[in-house]
Amino acid sequence: MGRGQKLPANLAPRLVSREAAAAYVGVSPTTFDRLVKDSMMPRPKVLGARRKAWDVRVLDKFIDRLPVEGNDDDNDSWDNVDAA
């Protein structure tokens, strides 16, 4: 399947462009670049001499590891759960 051919509507691409990867994560391409630089998002796969693409499965793993607001280690116990 060449680059210009379309996938069937029910088949999502596994490798996506920088812009699509940023949209998938929910940030602008510039913010996505910063997240990649800061190792909060993965580096791209290399396709040929100049083309780069991000694997959505790897993006999912990085998204899962992002910190959660208000979630600190002190609250990760059952001590504060009411048993009533």
**63 phi and psi angles, rounded to 5 deg:** -60, -40
What CA–CA distance (Å, rounded) separates 16 from 11? Answer: 13
How far apart are alpha carbons 76 and 68 in whole angstroms?
Answer: 12
3-state class (DSSP) for residue 54: strand
Contacts of 42 (CB under 8 A, 6+ apart): 36, 54, 55, 58, 59, 61, 62
Q: pLDDT > 70: what percent of the chain? A: 79
Q: pTM (2 decimals)?
A: 0.74
d(CA 55, CA 45) in angstroms, rounded, equals 7
User: pLDDT per residue over 38-73, tens digit each?
Assistant: 999 999 999 999 999 999 999 999 999 999 988 665
Delimit the domains of the chain by residue range: 15-64
